[in-house]
Structures are given as structure tokens and as C-alpha cells.
Structure 1
């Protein structure tokens, strides 16, 4: 393992600061509100910070949600998904009604057959009467049943098509709700779900790792060149990370200039190789404005990771990976550090601030 020694520094408790700010402003401590205040606290979007501060201590949930919808499109993803789910429920209900009608039709047909059998076996009926009665009853019942059956098939087929269209619509809403609009990577919602799922099974923990990455001196980039340039660099870094890992590795933007990767099926040495490949690729990538020739680089990234088997749950795994990331930053940046027992722990962010 690589060893990184962290200097003793005073690092603010972000979770406590954010919670305090929400309490002062009388804001309900729900996840989507926490995300707004967290982003405002780390200063990644000054405009958002100003709009949030302008609300004062009487901000309504509607006003907060309007800001959330403006800066975090996934806030309203759940509402859209709920609407599609209601459509699916409605289609299923219609389909069940059709099937129930078919069942009623078949039950009526069976009843007619039973009545015909009674007529045939009745001793007080003549042969001619029996034959005529059977022919009339069966002809009418069979014809009705066949017609109803054809209509039923057509209706069920149509309903199936409608349900398939609604399912595709739902899949698209889910994709949008789990995608970061700036980088087109997975967002915190998708990251949270995948991180929790690691501990649903003990089989793969030994070969699963969480890598956290943070762009070095990103605030300086924003301050020097402006947020539009910063956003482009964020998007480019996200694309570079995605291009240098396997498709099955979840790559997410978890906040500001921080990214996360959940790597499954690799040993500690292999994970180190994956992280080092990302670091080296970014270090060697030029960041220039093709029109003006302005060089925004060099752009580098620090990475820290922890194997899932070294933690009891997702919260501890996130905390240990974050400790390793901090040590990479504090050790000079532009490097990869793997978590080791004994590393400074009191500055690590809690994964719980990302829960939605």
C-alpha cells in the first residue's frame, strides 16, 4: 500500500455548517434542501448562493424547489416518474378489466353448455326438440364467444403496446433523473443507490472499491477564467474519466468538482492501476481555447480509494475513501492514495450528506 501522511489542519465540519444554516433559515431538513445548501456552502455556483441567501429566513418550500429545479433538474424527476407510474397502473387496471370480461364470457359459455347437457339428458324432450335446441344454443354461444375472443385479443394487444410505450417513457425519466446535466455522468442519486447495493451481498466485496476524485485547484480555475470555462473543464474531465474506464464501472459527479467511481471485480493493485491511468491521462491532456489560444492547464486530479471489504457499510466506505482523497490532496495533489489504518479521520465528510 502507498502511505500518505496528513498534516494536522483545521477542516470545517461541512455537514454541521449546512445543518446550522438550514436551521437558521427555518428550512425543512429534507434531502433536496440539503443539496441546495451544500452546493451553496462549497461555493461551486455563486449565482445559486446569492439566490438562496436572498430568500432570507422565510423561504417557502415552493421557492426552494424553484431554485432546485433551476440548478438541479433531477429534483422534479421523481414527480415525472410518479406520473408515468400512474399511467402504467391505469393501463394494468384496464388490462385486468378486459381479462375479467373474458373470464365472465367463458363462464357464461360454460353455463350454456351445462344447460344444453341438461336438455339432452331430459327424458321429457323429443329428439327433434333436443337437436334444435342444442344447435341454436351452441351456435349463438359459440359465435358470441369467438367474436368476443377476437375483440379481446385486439384489446389486449393494444393495451400491451400502450404499456410498452409507457415503460420506455418511464425508463427515459429514470435515466434523466439519474444523470448529471453538466457532465452526463451518473449523479448523486444513482451513486447513492449503487453504493448502498455493494453491501447487499458479501460475495463481491473483496474485489469492489470506491474511488473518489477531486480536480486540483478548481476554485482558482473558476476565479481566474469564470464559471462558464469551469463548467466546460468539468464536462471535459468527466468525459476523460468515462473514456478511461470500463463501461461497467459507475462514474458519477457527486458534487462540485468531485467525482466517484465504483469499481467491481478488481483487486487493490488493479484498482490502483485504474486510478493511476485516469490521473496520468488527465495530466497529459491539454486544456486550451481553440479560438483564443488561452491555456487553462495544467489540469490535474487527486484520487483516493478504499476497498469495500475494509469497511462495514457504505457510510464507512465513503468516509475512508474520502480520507484517502484528503491525504492525496494534502500530500501534494496529482496523486493516488489508498486508504490505510492510522490516517487522519476527523476531517472526512459523511456519506450521509449525499443521501436523498
Structure 2
């Protein structure tokens, strides 16, 4: 059975094209360099996906300096800025190590000076054990001064090492955050599509065939329209509620990710197709019961709905197979069935409204 692309997919593509044109125009009018990371920054700001980023970018005004734009991208852990964060962390790490090396050289130099003074003093005592008291006092004073300089350098080195250790720990945290940004959705904190693919690959490589794995691909209908009609803050509120709901709805060893503007994915282990449909119906009911109040309209709330496509892993399945099957099932579910489970003879797939 051949399925046509749903009408809302065409509208979605048109909206995406409009946003891209808006991004290009905004960057040109603000005199922003056509760098890939700047495109991502403006896209995330203008699409309403990150309302706080939108406000902070607007506050920069016209002709914002690149450093200020990069600071925003790093603050919000945008994917395109992960490489920049890594480069800055590497540069800072090299500078820190260079400072430590410089302090070590000074400390070693002072130790050598102290050793030379000590050798000179010992040599004088050996050569002239009955030297005059004044000469002995002069030598002792030089030795004392050298010991003082050595102590000062050792204290400075200790301070540098402690400071550098804290700085390196911060850099390690920055690098870990930049790595996480590659696999995390910044708006919800949930894993993203890249993380989902990695999770599926890991599970499919190790899972036993008697413990089936289900992939539920869910679309929260109305979320995109909510952002367009009521603005980013309302959509952000809805996303916060949805992400909290979805986290609570899965078992400890299951997995949820945000894979699109209104699309989420759930990986459930040791479930049959029937179990997966029950889970999908429960998610659908929970989303239907969710309400999002509008600013200044206490008694007016928006509601959402959910459509879900289900794919069950078969022996030899890959993550690409499961994603493709779940996407086909979701397209069918959006046609009106609400929930659809993919089968080999798709078109006669089982469905549950």
C-alpha cells in the first residue's frame, strides 16, 4: 500500500523554509557573518525553540560582535558551538599548563641557586674551618636569603598548582558539557536524535532476541501551532510539562528523547507489540489531559494530542531500520488512526485508536 506524505508535512516544510529565509534576512540586516554557528544561533532564536535565547539575542541590538554571539551560543550549549567550546577549553588548558611549566622552571632555578649557595658555604667551611665570625655571618646571611627565595617560589608554585587544578577541573566540566550538547536537546534537556541512534545501536548489539525492543515515535500535535500562535514562552511551558511527563512515564531502563520540534521517541525493552500499544495509549491519554494556560488568560488553556508509530525490533534490525519503520507507522497514525504499529505487510498493520 502506497502512502502519501501527510498534508501537515508539506505545511511543516513551508514553515521551515520561511524560518530559514527569516534567519538569512535577520543575519544580513544585523551585519552578522555567514558562519554556520551563527545560522544555528539565529535559527534557534527565531524559531521560538529557545525563548530565553531569543530575548538575549534581541538585547544585543544591531551589528552584535562575534564574541557576544559566541558567548550566547556557548551559554545555551548549541551543537554548532561545541567545537568552539572545545577549542577554547584546549587553548585555556595549554595556557594553564604553560603557566605551570614557567613556575616549575623558576622553582627549579631557585633550588639551584640555593644548592650553589649551600655548596659554597660548605666549601668555605671545609677550606677554612676557623674563618672569621664576620665572614661566617656573611655566608650564613646569603644562605638564609637563598632559602627565603626558595620558600617563596615553592609557595608560589603551590598556589599555581592549586589554582591550575581548579581551572583544569572547570575546563574538564566545560568539555563534558560541550560533549553533552551534541547529544542533548537544549530546550528540554532530553537526549536528542543523535543520542537516540547511539542508544538503539548499543541496545540492538547486546539485547537478547527473547527480550524484544520497541521504538515508539510520537508526535505531539498542536505544539508547533501553539508556538506560532501564542509565542515561544507558551511553547516552552508546554515543552517543560511534556518532558516532565515523559520522564515519569517510562521505566528506569527505558529511554526518551526529543527528536524534532514536536516529535519524541521512546525506547522500551522487553515489550511486545501489544504492550507497546498500551504504553502509547497511556502516553496519548496523558498528553490529552495536559493543559497549558495562556498569559493573562487564567481561564483559557490550550490542549494537545498525540499520534504514535510503533516499530518492534526483529533479529538483525538496525537503528536505521527501526527509525524508518516507526516513521512510516507515525505517518499512518497521523492519517487518523492515532496509534499504528508497523508490520512487514504495512498497510495491514495493526492499529489502536
Question: What is the TM-score of this pair, normalised by structure 1?
Answer: 0.59
CA contact (8 A) 1:40 1:49 kept: no
Q: Matches of 2:129 and 2:204 in 1, distance apart?
A: 76
CA contact (8 A) 1:252 1:261 kept: yes
Whether 1:98 and 2:106 are equivalent positions in the alignment is: no
Post-superposition offset of 1:164: 3.8
Residue in 1 that maps onto 2:258:
253
Whether 1:322 and 2:327 are equivalent positions in the alignment is: yes
How many corresponding residue pairs? Answer: 294
Question: What is the TM-score of this pair, normalised by structure 2?
Answer: 0.60
Residue in 2 that maps onto 1:195:
197
Structure 1: gaps (5+ residues): 1-6, 13-37, 345-356
Residue in 2 that maps onto 1:42:
13
CA contact (8 A) 2:216 2:308 kept: no
Residue in 2 that maps onto 1:185:
189
1:70 to 28, 39, 42: 42
Residue in 1 that maps onto 2:29:
none
- What SS is found at the alignment partner of 1:9? coil
Q: Matches of 1:92 and 1:180 in 2, distance apart?
A: 33
What are the Cα deviations for residues 117-155 of structure 1, in whole angstroms up to 9, with x where unaligned? 8x4998xx35446xx699678655544433321121122
Post-superposition offset of 1:247: 7.2
Whether 1:302 and 2:304 are equivalent positions in the alignment is: no
Change in 2 beyond 3 A, CA 1:278/1:96 = farther
Post-superposition offset of 1:192: 0.8
Q: Matches of 2:185 and 2:227 in 1, distance apart?
A: 21
CA contact (8 A) 1:306 1:324 kept: no
Q: Matches of 2:207 and 2:118 in 1, distance apart?
A: 63
Whether 1:9 and 2:3 are equivalent positions in the alignment is: yes
Residue in 2 that maps onto 1:51:
22
Whether 1:281 and 2:286 are equivalent positions in the alignment is: yes
Residue in 2 that maps onto 1:353:
none
- What SS is found at the alignment partner of 1:72? helix
Post-superposition offset of 1:166: 4.5
- What SS is found at the alignment partner of 1:252? strand
Q: Matches of 1:202 and 1:111 in 2, distance apart?
A: 67
Post-superposition offset of 1:165: 4.3
Q: Matches of 2:227 and 2:200 in 1, distance apart?
A: 38
- What SS is found at the alignment partner of 2:91? helix
Q: Matches of 1:111 and 1:321 in 2, distance apart?
A: 77
